[in-house]
Amino acid sequence: MTKLGLPVPPGFTIVTKTCIEFLKSGEKLTDELIEEMKVALNKVEKKAGKVFGDPEHPLLVSVRSGAKISMPGMMDTVLNVGLNPKTMEGLIKITNHERFVKDSYRRLITMFADVVCGLDISKFENKLEEVKTANKLSFDYELTPELLDGLIVDFLLIFKELYGSPFPEDPMTQLLMTIKAVFKSWNNKRAIAYRKFEGIPDDIGTAVNVQTMVFGNYDENSGTGVLFTRNPATGEKALYGEYLMQAQGEDVVAGIRTPVSISELKKQLPKIYSSLEKFALTLEKHYKDMQDIEFTIESGKLYILQTRAGKRTGTASAKIALDLLSEGLISKEEVIMRVTPRDLESSMFPSIVWANEKSHDYFNIEDFETKLHKHSIDELTKEAKISHAEIIGEGLPAGPGAAAGHIIFDSDLAEQLAKGQKEPNFDVKLWKTVDGKKVPKLILIKKETSPEDFHGMVASEGILTMTGGLTSHAALVGRQIGKRVIVGASNSKMDLLGHNLRTSDGRILSEGDVVTLEVFDHARVYLGSLPIYTPNELPETFLTILDYCDEIAQIKVRTNADKRLDAETAMKFKAVGIGLARTEHQFFDALDLVQEMILADTKSERIETLNKMLSLQQKDFEDLFEVLNGKPATIRLLDPPLHEFLPKELEIRQRAWLEMLNPRQTEENLRILRKVIYYQEANPMLGLRGCRLSLLFPEITEMQVRAVIQAALAVHDRGIVVHPEIMIPLVGFKEEFTKSREIVDRIAKLVFEEKGKQITYHVGTMIEIPRAALTADEIAAGELGADFFSFGTNDLHQMTLGFSRDDVGKFLPYYVDEHIIPSDPFQTIDVDGVGKLMDTCVQLGRKSASESEKYLKVGICGEQGGDPHSIEFCYKIGLDYVSCSPFRVPIARLAAAQATLKFPKPAKKYLKSN
Amino acid sequence: MTKLGLPVPPGFTIVTKTCIEFLKSGEKLTDELIEEMKVALNKVEKKAGKVFGDPEHPLLVSVRSGAKISMPGMMDTVLNVGLNPKTMEGLIKITNHERFVKDSYRRLITMFADVVCGLDISKFENKLEEVKTANKLSFDYELTPELLDGLIVDFLLIFKELYGSPFPEDPMTQLLMTIKAVFKSWNNKRAIAYRKFEGIPDDIGTAVNVQTMVFGNYDENSGTGVLFTRNPATGEKALYGEYLMQAQGEDVVAGIRTPVSISELKKQLPKIYSSLEKFALTLEKHYKDMQDIEFTIESGKLYILQTRAGKRTGTASAKIALDLLSEGLISKEEVIMRVTPRDLESSMFPSIVWANEKSHDYFNIEDFETKLHKHSIDELTKEAKISHAEIIGEGLPAGPGAAAGHIIFDSDLAEQLAKGQKEPNFDVKLWKTVDGKKVPKLILIKKETSPEDFHGMVASEGILTMTGGLTSHAALVGRQIGKRVIVGASNSKMDLLGHNLRTSDGRILSEGDVVTLEVFDHARVYLGSLPIYTPNELPETFLTILDYCDEIAQIKVRTNADKRLDAETAMKFKAVGIGLARTEHQFFDALDLVQEMILADTKSERIETLNKMLSLQQKDFEDLFEVLNGKPATIRLLDPPLHEFLPKELEIRQRAWLEMLNPRQTEENLRILRKVIYYQEANPMLGLRGCRLSLLFPEITEMQVRAVIQAALAVHDRGIVVHPEIMIPLVGFKEEFTKSREIVDRIAKLVFEEKGKQITYHVGTMIEIPRAALTADEIAAGELGADFFSFGTNDLHQMTLGFSRDDVGKFLPYYVDEHIIPSDPFQTIDVDGVGKLMDTCVQLGRKSASESEKYLKVGICGEQGGDPHSIEFCYKIGLDYVSCSPFRVPIARLAAAQATLKFPKPAKKYLKSN
């Protein structure tokens, strides 16, 4: 900023390299450095016309960190360095502001104790409160110089007691200690964690900025403020911000006095305002982004203290980026890098209107949604009271957005209420209108959901389950149908007790009570109804940016969709195909038939039932092919173990107990029970499922393949291009794939012959068993090897890490908190472990396929396929596409483009795809 | 043999290279080959004084395979090639043996149809039976020339009907087709499978031997026989074998006429006998092994047709090898390679005295074991009747040996009966004497066993479970205490119906019925009591050979032992340490305390109970250290999930139902139920266990480490050297290891300080999660990295292959049968998949450790550690030791030496171990 000619208080910077040297060499400041620093300080003294430590004209400085990449709040700052009893006297003489100077000294002691010495500062705070109470004072600035004198004596005593030696009065000692502290803060726990999370390297270090202090509380012509060069909420191009006269930065933040809008400054100090306007323009042009500027006016003179890219809402982010593009400041590529997946997410899904998200303060507006029709959010929030929201539970974020509603524990009842077929027996506060009827908004709460809860989930605004992970039924299905979903809440001590919900804090809620779910990076349950803003659809700005993304992205985005509706949603979001259609979801729709099929004692009985299922499956596939209209669809053959379609042993036994109140079972129960027990497994994840099932019961595969091929031919007859890709799940051995492919090819040939026509199809496999990745070369080898791979990263993580996603709830949160693992592997690919395996797999598979002149298409269809970090990794190892749930498609498209821009050269692909 | 000067019927050999060329070039015999063959045939004709295809002096030949490595029964042979109506007439004229010649032609047609044309020969057999029945004949040789003429006509018709073209009468066509068939038989299914199993390369091919036919049924001075140069049952150095005059080889095998002992030949044809003696010696000297020789006498002239290394019993194998060593024929190294793990196994464990193991015919001797005290097996088997044993079930071979006993379904009852505390309510046929009391021998049958069945298992001779795999409780514990164990029998359709056993063939057995278990490579249940021979201890010969093994083996053998008795057994078998002491087995002994600990609601309650467990654990460790007497012991911290120590939900609920006949639960039941439900897991294998448990409940680890260190110090005080190695289970992330090691080091330091003395200990980890193998370099890195790795190959296979060992029963047998996988990975390491991972792990870990100047010791403690194929692999990738159950130690020592001899150069080890 100094170079740009802006009025910055004089200072100097110790560069990041010094930090690294300092940390490596046993945390010592070298004599050389101290000498250089003194020379620099000397220059500053000359510019400021003051001398550091001089009792007559004392120079005070601030010491701030300055990392290459902004790490807000992670590192330390100390103000007023250079004050001691002598310089304090000098400063009082010059300024004639005894209270201000003594207050600054008091603050220095506290800040130094905290930041430099790492002491517990509650004793200082208690003493301050004690003095204020004794003197019946409400505000710090009411402390008289005399009271401050007393406090300073007390503070110095406390400091000595806690630290073991007295507060350093020598200004140079203060300065050197502070610089060391800032350097060291590079390695404090929260900074390390932040870097790990954001992927910032550990070895770049922080700079230290030593700068002349200026004071906004100097006199009545002084003040301080914060300025955004554009509106951070909407992106509108106009100065935005607030200021306070006779105040220091702290006072603005503390919220004791209400700051004034920056537009007032235009009237109050027009010259200052027009300077600010000019500086804002300069800074925006220089940094090519909206700026968040801190300024101070000392005795009528404007100083710019700091500038950085301003935080903004998702909507603003997109608007600003596009405006900067049309202003010629940035390129299309830069536009793409300017918006974050989180920006997009918050613009897609309903979210709570927070006053302060961090402290959980919200704008308390009654009947928010109705009023929103007449007013803008901005207008509404102005008139709102601020209230504090209470968290009553947390869980895993399974379906993003926010939703408020009445809690309900029964899916049948939920449906009846939501359809207005039944009167609620609770006082309804939240209504919605469905087909002209006013019905209550509901939040469905279950221990875990099963396919039998589907109608209840559809009927509700949000779903909350006690157990289960991010890939449990509730998570998968809820996300698929676009609901807010929180799973695994029992880890926050929430619990279901019959038809009551015990909250984390021990409260008991019952049917009809109102809660609000908020699900983004976190997943929280709040008591009562919070105001929710629901964007109607993806803003135009984002649609434009996403089109830019598609031009650039070198990895494509498909979707996971089982049904027509899912597929339609995904096509609207411009997915380029289906990466995973799970056929078992179709099975759940025909549960009676499936159970009949499983209970069949002979193969011929089984085939009979399978024949009945054929047309149902075929219809679903026809739907998908129609919606896709020429785009490819990867259809996975039946994957889950058969017992997932059967009731649980306990259920049957209990049914018998309840029905008969004696230990005998009915004949029918016994029949089912025998099958249930037969199919029970100790570890179903590692049991009889996937291709193992289709090799043992080839008739199931035969039916499914017939359904796919018949559907493809039927849709093809209607003039629509079809690209079926049949995917064999759970392959671990080459022979499993070969034998499964034989069945597929045999049936396809048969159907082609029957119908007298044919289409092209591909057969590939899911890579979800570590062994498959290790032997990918075998599986992809030869003419009859796999045509494509798709990483089933859910199972691949389960097996490679030994983490059952249904059971990790007891330790995974602890692991993430304690940094035993960097992040939840069911959200973000474990790059160091599973990632290594994936990379090996792609290389082995592609190389082997290329030896048969084939290009092996590779994608990912696990949950992680919608996660930006994971998409970046997938791009880097050369995958052709990611596939994610329909509502994640826009985020994935953005992430795909960003990855391409960040890493222009991905892995070697052997043969080029056509 | 011809070169050795032995009287071999003239012939020639087409070498193996030709076979490979034939198979590669579309299965065509080249003109060049045919020419060469004709030249060779010409030479044979000259030697034999006969001409192939000549109607006057026809030469007949046999065509046999001859692979480099003997593959008994795998490949094909055709005799009497060259016969047709014309040569038949000529042969009759010369020999004047019309019946013999026509019978030979009849046989040629059948054999040719079978071997060369691959036809179903049942029609030939039926026709033969039909003719015999119609003429009231019992034996083939009773067929008159006239009947044979009719049969030949019929056979030729059948042949044409089945094959589509007539039987080839041209001798050269017969010969070429036969040669082709033998070449092709290299790739028949059973030969491929055999090679895969035995590790014989696929590209070495078979030779074809074309040899002049000689006839043992030529006249009364003709005969045929089989000779072993030493006794194949005992190894005794004396000719052994049998012969038949006026017979062909087939007749000896068919068992219609009883062959005569070879000693009779000495009296009957002393010259021939002394020739045989001379030839036997020549062949033994040449082949340096006991030979199994086929000979034929044609009109008083002796021919040696074939010789090969003779099959022998385990005991004989060892004796012969050592005798050959002392005779100076072979070296110590060769002795080691001469005995097989199977030889050793059958000499260690009880086995059934079979007359013919393949056809399940046994020597039916009443009260076998009592009589055995007075007679040798040989004597006994001479007087025995032969009976046929009936298989009534099969399972997985979990504990080797054979055992007969009365079936029993209850562990308490088993103990009471075995201690003579209760009178059996069945008719006892099998007794044993315990502490002077005669008590019944028992076979315990359960769905699956749990720790509560331990006393019942001890009381029984054998254990049979319906479910569970090779590493289920029954398998692990049963093997550990040296019982015969069969698990997973329900896959053979055996089933438990209350206190009845349904057999595979639908029979129902009840308490007291007698069955015999036989467990080696297979695991069979036979109806009734079969004679069992129990070796008292490992024969002296094997002890000697095992000592030779230890001199040579470059990979050591430790044992898996949890208790003093296990450790003592293993030390007797010369294990060099404990590779795995599972501390949870100690927990099962204190189940009440463990449950109390788990049910504790607070950490302090938990610590209180843990303190009570401390002395129990410490005592067990002191026992182990004492027995080891300076050898190292790897002690694994608690591994299984806590719910393994709790009753099952269903049990508790049922208990409530049964106790109260209403759906309410008692308070105590509810308390347990809540915990049980809390700790329930969908996939316990991948859940809260191993180090995850000890990071969440560090107090458990603290107690265990304290017990280990206190035990070590106490035993050290008694003047015994101790080498504790503490092993952290289930590590997947570096941080898991680091944090666990911190606990171990902290507690060890504390105990050292308390006791004022210290010892050396090591901390390492089990490699059982694929991610650990993939990131072995991280886990082994640095001073505080792992000191050792031990492959937990049970879990490593479960996760890498996605095979739950408790659930694979439904598909693994099918997979092995269909060659989808080469063998059961829970017995033999999956070299291509898991093996790759293990190799990577060892390389990464050792390299990383070497960078900190450390040598990383690596072993294996999974079940596969006792499997010879796996031991070979472990040696090849450079492991330092294998660890197996005590009774597998001798087999592992043998396998270790054999691996070393087979592959003199194993993997690079980075730094040498001390």
**A724 bridge partner residues:** A633
Contact between chains at A807 and B770 (C-beta distance less than 8 A): no
What is the three-state SS of B736-782? Answer: HHHHHHHHHHHHHHHHHHHHCCCCCCEEEEEECCHHHHHCHHHHHCC
When scoring B465, B494, B683, B840 by the number of chain A Cβ atoms within 10 A, the one with the most, hence best to mutate, is B683
* Of A516, A478, A499, A483, residue with least CA distance to A392: A516
* Of A706, A680, A669, A583, residue with least CA distance to A634: A583
CB atoms within 10 A of CB B170: 12
Residue B764 in this model has a pLDDT that exceeds 90? yes
The answer to whether the CB of A486 falls within 8 A of the CB of A396 is yes
- For residue A797, the chain B residue with the least C-alpha distance is B771
Q: Residue with structure tokens 């990379």?
A: A839
**A387 bridge partner residues:** A362
Q: Work out the pLDDT band at A455, boundaries 50, 70, 90.
A: confident
For residue B360, the number of C-alpha atoms closer than 13 Å in the C-beta half-sphere is 12
Structure tokens at A244: 């306070």
pLDDT tens digits for range B321-337? 999 999 999 999 999 99
DSSP label at residue A56: S
Query: Looking at the partner chain, which of B685, B802, B815 has a beta carbon nearest the beta carbon of A730?
Result: B802
When scoring A661, A807, A844 by the number of chain B Cβ atoms within 10 A, the one with the most, hence best to mutate, is A807
Inform me whether the C-beta atom of residue B802 falls under 8 Å from chain A C-beta atoms: yes
DSSP tally for chain B: helices H, then strands E: 36, 37
Backbone angles phi, psi at A834, to 5 degrees: -60, -35
pLDDT of residue A45: 95
Q: Which residues of A touch B814 (CB under 8 A)?
A: 695-696
C-alpha–C-alpha distance, residues A515 and A527, integer Å: 5
pLDDT of residue B896: 97
* Of B577, B594, B598, B575, residue with least CA distance to B585: B594
Q: What is the pTM of this model?
A: 0.80
Query: Looking at the partner chain, which of A653, A661, A799 has a beta carbon nearest the beta carbon of B799?
Result: A799
Mean confidence (pLDDT) of chain B: 88
Three-state secondary-structure class, residue B823: coil
Work out how many CB contacts closer than 8 A connect A with B.
Answer: 189
Helix, strand, coil percentages for chain B (3-state, nearest 5): 50, 20, 35
Q: How far apart are the first and last CA of chain B?
A: 51
Contact between chains at A732 and B802 (C-beta distance less than 8 A): yes
Q: Which residues of A touch B685 (CB under 8 A)?
A: 682-683, 685-686, 802, 804
Contact between chains at B649 and A650 (C-beta distance less than 8 A): yes
pLDDT tens digits for range B68-110? 776 666 667 888 999 999 999 999 998 888 888 998 899 899 9
pLDDT tens digits for range A550-602? 999 999 999 999 989 889 999 999 999 999 999 987 788 788 888 888 888 88
C-alpha–C-alpha distance, residues A102 and B575, integer Å: 79
More confident residue, A407 or B306: A407
Inform me whether the C-beta atom of residue A407 falls under 8 Å from chain B C-beta atoms: no
If you write DSSP's letter for every residue of A300-324 in order, what string do you get? TEEEEEEEEEPP--HHHHHHHHHHH
Query: Looking at the partner chain, which of B649, B658, B684 has a beta carbon nearest the beta carbon of A682?
Result: B684
Range picked from A176-190, A794-808, B64-78, B139-153 for highest mean pLDDT: A794-808
C-alpha–C-alpha distance, residues B509 and B500, integer Å: 6
Query: Looking at the partner chain, which of A683, A798, A832 has a beta carbon nearest the beta carbon of B775?
Result: A832
pLDDT of residue A409: 94
Contact between chains at B686 and A683 (C-beta distance less than 8 A): yes
C-alpha–C-alpha distance, residues B420 and B431, integer Å: 11
Dihedral, CA atoms, A298, A300, A302, A305, nearest 10 degrees? Answer: 10
C-alpha–C-alpha distance, residues A788 and A491, integer Å: 39
Structure tokens at B766: 């089990």
pLDDT of residue B252: 59
pLDDT tens digits for range A27-68? 889 999 999 999 999 999 999 889 999 998 999 999 988 877
Structure tokens at B773: 């193998």
Query: A671 CB contacts (<8 Å, ≥6 apart)?
Result: A599
- For residue B801, the chain A residue with the least C-alpha distance is A771
Mean confidence (pLDDT) of chain A: 88
pLDDT of residue B906: 67
- Cα angle at A831 between A825 and A834, to 5 degrees? 75
pLDDT tens digits for range B628-638? 999 999 999 99
Alpha helices in B512-563 (DSSP H): 540-552
pLDDT of residue A663: 46
pLDDT tens digits for range A502-561? 998 889 999 999 999 999 878 999 999 998 888 767 889 999 999 999 999 999 999 999
C-alpha–C-alpha distance, residues B579 and B720, integer Å: 19
Residues 207-226 of B with CB under 8 A from A: none
| Beta strands per DSSP E along B520-602 | 523-527, 532-533, 556-560, 578-582
If you write DSSP's letter for every residue of B413-456 in order, what string do you get? HHHHHHTTSS--SS----EEEETTEEEE-EEEEESS--GGGHHH
Three-state secondary-structure class, residue B203: coil
Residues 810-849 of B with CB under 8 A from A: 810-811, 814-815, 818-821, 830, 832-834, 836-837
- For residue A801, the chain B residue with the least C-alpha distance is B771
CB atoms within 10 A of CB A513: 20
More confident residue, A52 or B449: A52
Q: Work out the pLDDT band at A471, boundaries 50, 70, 90.
A: low
CB atoms within 10 A of CB A809: 23
The identity of residue A143, as a single letter, is L
Q: Work out the pLDDT band at B913, boundaries 50, 70, 90.
A: very low
C-alpha–C-alpha distance, residues A901 and A549, integer Å: 10
pLDDT of residue B723: 97
The answer to whether the CB of B273 falls within 8 A of the CB of B265 is yes
pLDDT tens digits for range B53-70? 999 899 999 998 887 776
pLDDT of residue B809: 81
What are the b/e assignments for A64-92, b being 16+ CB within 10 Å? bbbbeeebeebbbebbbbbbbeebbebbb
- For residue A737, the chain B residue with the least C-alpha distance is B820
pLDDT tens digits for range A638-661? 998 888 888 777 676 666 655 554
Residues of A known to be catalytic: 473, 861
Range picked from A258-262, A318-322, B205-209, B222-226 for highest mean pLDDT: A318-322
More confident residue, B140 or A572: A572
**Across residues B869-878, what is the average pLDDT?**
96
Q: Work out the pLDDT band at B912, boundaries 50, 70, 90.
A: very low
More confident residue, B421 or A791: A791
Dihedral, CA atoms, A440, A445, A449, A452, nearest 10 degrees? Answer: -40
C-alpha–C-alpha distance, residues B900 and B550, integer Å: 11
* Of A180, A175, A214, A177, residue with least CA distance to A40: A175
Structure tokens at A316: 């603003």
DSSP label at residue A356: E
> CB-based burial of residue A110 (10 Å sphere; 0-12 exposed, 13-18 middle, 19+ buried)?
middle
Query: Looking at the partner chain, which of B661, B683, B795 has a beta carbon nearest the beta carbon of A806?
Result: B683
The answer to whether the CB of B284 falls within 8 A of the CB of B222 is no
Q: Is A364 left (phi over 0), alpha (psi -120 to 50) or beta?
A: beta
Contact between chains at B820 and A736 (C-beta distance less than 8 A): yes
When scoring A493, A601, A736, A799 by the number of chain B Cβ atoms within 10 A, the one with the most, hence best to mutate, is A799
Residues of B known to be catalytic: 473, 861
Contact between chains at A769 and B654 (C-beta distance less than 8 A): no
C-alpha–C-alpha distance, residues B295 and B297, integer Å: 7
DSSP label at residue B834: I
pLDDT of residue B166: 95
Three-state secondary-structure class, residue B14: strand
Q: Work out the pLDDT band at B914, boundaries 50, 70, 90.
A: very low
The answer to whether the CB of A515 falls within 8 A of the CB of A404 is yes
pLDDT tens digits for range A727-785? 999 999 999 999 999 999 999 999 999 999 999 999 999 999 999 999 999 999 998 99
Residues 650-709 of B with CB under 8 A from A: 650, 653-654, 657-658, 661-663, 681-688, 692, 695-696
* Of A890, A834, A299, residue with least CA distance to A574: A890
pLDDT of residue B374: 66
pLDDT of residue B253: 52
pLDDT of residue B599: 82
Dihedral, CA atoms, A430, A433, A434, A438, nearest 10 degrees? Answer: 70
Structure tokens at B341: 């793990």
Q: Which residues of A touch B770 (CB under 8 A)?
A: 770, 799-802, 833, 837
pLDDT of residue A661: 46
C-alpha–C-alpha distance, residues B314 and B146, integer Å: 50
Residue B658 in this model has a pLDDT that exceeds 70? no
* Of B909, B785, B906, B790, residue with least CA distance to B846: B909
When scoring A685, A686, A812 by the number of chain B Cβ atoms within 10 A, the one with the most, hence best to mutate, is A686
pLDDT of residue A914: 37
Q: Work out the pLDDT band at A296, boundaries 50, 70, 90.
A: very high
Contact between chains at B733 and A821 (C-beta distance less than 8 A): yes
